[in-house]
Amino acid sequence: MAQTVYFECKVRYNKTMEDGMEKSVSETYVLDAVSFTEAEARIIEEVAPFMSGEYTVSDIKRCKYAEIFPSRKSEDERWYKAKLMFVSVDEKSGKEKRTGSLYLVQGKDFKKACANLEDSMKGTMSDYEVANMAETQILDVFFYSKRK
């Protein structure tokens, strides 16, 4: 089975502010896709219904997330990037080896995101520790679903 590839896409457009003035803004989204071309097509498809006026996909880059943990709770709107260090022992040398992996987890705030991460990692056979966790600018994550 092929590993899921995630792409971070930035969309730039002119947003009408509360005072009526227009301001150029850039919003960040993440989605899974098989190529940069598919990522661009999908992000356009996802955001087009919510945009009025002109917009451009200003950047697309591959992300090395091992997994993404969305929340089912509507109040969990923020996305946090977590670096987990997995600990294993080299059978030949007997030395401890630490390997880092990135995860994206959703939460209302930092504390809730930490709880959601811990809950999502339940049942993991490997020993791990959270080395770093920080809020991102990601507004939403779009997962691939087969079109009907």
- Residue 134's pLDDT band, with cuts at 50, 70 and 90, is very high
Q: What percent of the chain has pLDDT over 90?
A: 68
pTM for this predicted structure: 0.85
**Average model confidence (pLDDT) across the chain:** 90
**Pairwise CA distance, residues 89 & 96, whole Å:** 4
pLDDT of 75 > 60? The answer is yes
Helix H or strand E encompassing 118: helix 110-120
State residue 10's pLDDT score: 96
**Pairwise CA distance, residues 35 & 58, whole Å:** 16
How confident is the model over 6-63, as pLDDT tens digits? 999 999 988 888 898 888 899 999 999 999 999 999 999 999 888 878 889 999 999 9
CATH architecture of the domain covering 1-63: Roll (3.10)
State residue 33's pLDDT score: 93
Mean pLDDT of 110-114: 96
Residue partners of 9: CB distance under 8 A and separation at least 6? 28, 29, 30, 31, 39, 40, 43, 57, 59, 60
Residue partners of 77: CB distance under 8 A and separation at least 6? 106, 108
**Pairwise CA distance, residues 121 & 115, whole Å:** 10
In terms of Cα–Cα distance, which of 77, 64, 63 is closest to 105? Answer: 77
- Cβ-count burial of 60 within 10 angstroms (0-12 exposed, 13-18 middle, 19+ buried)? middle
State residue 44's pLDDT score: 93
| Domain ranges (residues) in the chain | 1-63, 65-136
Helix H or strand E encompassing 128: strand 127-135
